[in-house]
Structure 1
Amino acid sequence: MRLDDLAGRLDAAGDELASASTTMALADPGSRALGGDAPGGPGELGRALHRTLTTALTARAREASAHGIRLAETAEALRLAAQGYRTADQDARRHHQRQEDA
């Protein structure tokens, strides 16, 4: 696998994470699904569980977004490294060719 290919795969994974971060809130079933609409103690517990779930989903969405950004940055660094290798190879070929021509 070439560095450019790996960079493309990292970009695709980063895009997936970014997409997941924006749709994470869709996983929230609402407090009613956790009994938040019940009276008394069970309702309080359901609402507390829902707050915990919402907090966790928000945190995971932020993490997914941050990791997506890191993957995109890594992909760009790989592309720069690949270009550097290509440039070094071209320079070495030109240098070698000049020595053969001399």
Structure 2
Amino acid sequence: MGLDQLAGRLDAAGDDLAGASTTMALADPGSRVFGGDAPGAPGELGRALHRTLTAALTSRAREASAHGIRLAETAEALRQAAQGYRAADDDARRRHQRQEDT
């Protein structure tokens, strides 16, 4: 696998993470699942559990987005490195050709 192919795979993984970050909130089942609609202490506990879940999902969504950005940046750095290697190879090939021609 070449650097350009690896960069493409990193971009795809970054896109997947970015997509996951936008759909993370869909995993929230609501406070009712935790008994948040119950009266008294059980309801308070259910609502507290739901707040904890919501905070965790929000944090994971931010992290997924940030990692997606990092993967895209890494993919771009790989593309630049690949271009640098190609340029160095082309320069060496031209120098070698000129030496053979003389």
- Coarse TM-score class (shorter-chain normalised): over 0.9
- 4+ residue runs of structure 1 moved beyond 3 angstroms? none
Matches within 5 A, 1:5-84: 5-84=5-84
Where in structure 2 are there 5+ consecutive unaligned residues?
none
How big is the shift at 1:40? Answer: 0.6
Deviations 1:33-62 (A, max 9, x none): 110000111100000000000000000000
Query: Structure 1: how far apart are the matches of 2:12 and 2:81?
Result: 19
Q: Give the Cα–Cα distance (whole angstroms) in 1 for the partners of residues 98 and 80 of structure 2.
A: 27
How much does 1:87 deviate? 0.3
SS of residue paired to 2:5: helix
Q: Which residue of 2 aligns with 1:87?
A: 87
1:84 deviation in Å?
0.3
Secondary structure of the structure 2 residue equivalent to 1:29: coil
> How far apart are residue 64 of structure 1 and its match?
0.2
Between the aligned residues of both structures, percent identity stands at 86
Rounded Cα–Cα distance in structure 2 between residues aligned with 1:96 and 1:34: 72
Aligned residues: 102
The normalised TM-score by structure 2 is 0.99
Taking only aligned residues, the RMSD between alpha carbons, in angstroms, comes to 0.3
Q: Note the residue ranges of structure 1 that are not aligned, 5 or more in a row.
A: none
Query: What amino acid sits opposite 1:100 in the alignment?
Result: E
Distance across 2 between alignment mates of 1:44 and 1:37: 9
TM-score (norm 1): 0.99
Residue-by-residue CA offset, 1:2-24 (whole Å, 9 max, x unaligned) = 00000000000000000000000
